[in-house]
Structure 1
Amino acid sequence: MEKKISGLLFAGTLAVFSVLVVADEKITSVQTALKKFMPGVQLQSIKPTPIPGLYEIVIEGQVLYFSEDGRYAVQGQLVDLATRTNLTEERMNAVRAKAINALDKRDMIVFGPKEAKYTVNIFTDIDCPYCRQMHQHVDEYNKLGIKIRYLSFPRAGIGSASYDKAVAVWCAKDRQQALTQAKADKPIENTANKCKNPVADQFNLGQSLGVNATPTLILDDGTMLPGFIRPQALVSFLEQHYEKTK
């Protein structure tokens, strides 16, 4: 009896190993095909989807779907109708969460206590009217238990006037005060002419994560919320959101 069981276990192990080898071979063939059709593109990850012959590819923070031969691409939302789950958004949340949580917190301009109930990361532009309006409520967000962590996203691009303002804020002795003054259209005090700063890197990161407007909020679990959300509305959303994910 023991020999039969051992034999079955061995056979089962071989079967699983065979499946893994086949899966690895197919992924390799997709990678090879993609290199042919899209030379120079760096793949962040690749894995099969629940649909046979269709593979999920993450390229520069974006989720795309490709056929096994790498010839056909599908750009859009993949939804599991049985579970009502948006698989694309679920995957993008994971990609954004990994990118945001890998950042050095010292490269952010933070408003709020060290210990806060919620943390919200915001891609912001100094000249954006809604960003300015949102910042006027920063104390209210903090009082409601929300820590705000700002990342620079000058919408006009690197080298623009908004970009230069973001760099000036970063180079100021008091970045919080400088950001508040800049968003109020006041001159920034105590700035250096040049300093090492993360503005360009944060702008590029935002683009790779699908940020195309400001303010754009990203939670630590990767959930993206575009636009200005008033303090009470935001805390209500956060309470409901994290209750669902428990």
Structure 2
Amino acid sequence: MQNMKRVFAALALLGVALAASADEAAVRRMMQGKLRDTGTIESVQKAPWGDLYEVIVRGPDGPQILYVDGAASVIIAGQVIEAKSGNNLTEERKRKLTAIKWESLPFEWAITSVRGTGRRKIAVLSDPNCPFCKRFETDLQKLDDITVHILPYAVIRPESVRQSKAVWCSKDRVKAWNDLMFNRVEPQAGTSCDNPIDKLIAFGRKLGANSTPTWFLETGERYTGALPLEDTRKLLDQASPPKR
């Protein structure tokens, strides 16, 4: 009798799983018909809250998270905020989707500076004419025990390409970059040396980095924009904790 109960319970769970799978497949078909050639559906799954499905759509700018009802009659393209904690659940999910392997970043193309032990690690796609990059890098200058990899991502203005190449061709790249970023002192070097600037632009676009600064922690998680200094410090300490 006990064995029969277990069989019935297993069959019931299987039925629920098959029903959910069928619903997800139906949502995928309906959404693909609506999207047509604007993107490719990577995944469909039941959202962990509400009576909605999470649909991940891959487009030229990277993954987009949509929420739809079971009939795909309502499509929500926006942010979901958890009322109790205030956490942005959509952003948290997107960071997981866009995370990369830290070691896959092209550090040989970076302008790297180390302060103190260098235990905190960050890589920043930065444009020399980006005001938010300047603010973010100014805050990073206030942190000790940090390794900063600047990946010049010259996409804002045409002169950003020339300036970034001249920085790379400078004898002291860190000084040349900081002089340009913080003091608007143009680098005096030429631009004809072998440099990775065009490759970095292609690399950033392949990642779907459509704003600056775009930055990565040692965990591979991606962030955009200039967060308050204390928020950045907290994230760095979580990603690169002190060794004991």
Q: TM-score, normalised by structure 2?
A: 0.70
Cα displacement (A) at 1:121? 2.8
Among 44, 50, 61, which residue is 1:46 paired with? 44
Point out where structure 2 has 5 or more consecutive residues left out of the alignment: none
Aligned to 1:128: 130
Partner Cα distance (1:32, 1:114) in 2? 54
Distance in 2, matches of 1:23 and 1:129, equals 47
**2:90 aligned residue:** 88
- Are 2:122 and 2:215, in contact at CA under 8 Å, matched by a contact in 1? yes
Indicate whether 1:8 and 2:5 are aligned.
Answer: yes
Q: Gapped runs of 5+ residues in structure 1?
A: none
Q: After superposing the two structures, state which structure 1 stretch, 51-60 or 37-46, moved more.
A: 51-60
CA distance in 2, matches of 1:164, 1:203: 19
> How far did 1:228 drift?
7.4
- Who is 2:213 aligned against? 215
Q: Secondary structure at the match of 2:104?
A: coil
Q: Tell me, what secondary structure is at the counterpart of 2:12? A: helix
Measured after TM superposition, the shift of residue 19 of structure 1 is 1.9
Q: 1:193 to 1:118 in 2, by over 3 A?
A: closer
Taking the aligned partners of 1:24 and 1:173, their CA distance within structure 2 comes to 59
The answer as to whether partners of 1:33 and 1:70 remain within 8 angstroms in 2 is: yes
Aligned residue for 2:199, secondary structure, equals: coil
- Aligned CA RMSD, in angstroms, stands at 3.9
Supply the distance in 2 between the matched residues of 1:15 and 1:126 (Cα, whole angstroms): 60
Name the CA distance, whole Å, in 2 between partners of 1:140 and 1:80.
32
1:185: which partner in 2? 186
CA distance in 2: counterparts of 1:178 and 1:110, whole angstroms: 12
Please name the residue that 1:117 is paired with: 119
CA separation of 1:187 and 1:105: change in aligned 2, threshold 3 A: same
Q: Deviations over 1:33-57 (max 9, x none)?
A: 1221111312233321121143343
Pairwise CA distance, 1:219: 3.5
- The answer to whether the Cα contact below 8 Å between 1:37 and 1:71 also exists between their aligned partners in 2 is no
Kept after mapping to 1: 8 A contact 2:121/2:236: no
Equivalent position SS for 2:42: strand
Normalised TM-score (structure 1): 0.69
Distance 1:58 1:101 in 2: 24
Counterpart CA distance in 1 for 2:179 and 2:192 is: 12
Q: 1:90 to 1:125 in 2, by over 3 A?
A: same
Question: 1:61 aligns to what SS in structure 2?
Answer: strand
Counterpart residue type for residue 161 of structure 1: E
- The size of the alignment, in residue pairs, is 229
Is residue 227 from structure 1 mapped to residue 229 from structure 2 by the alignment? no
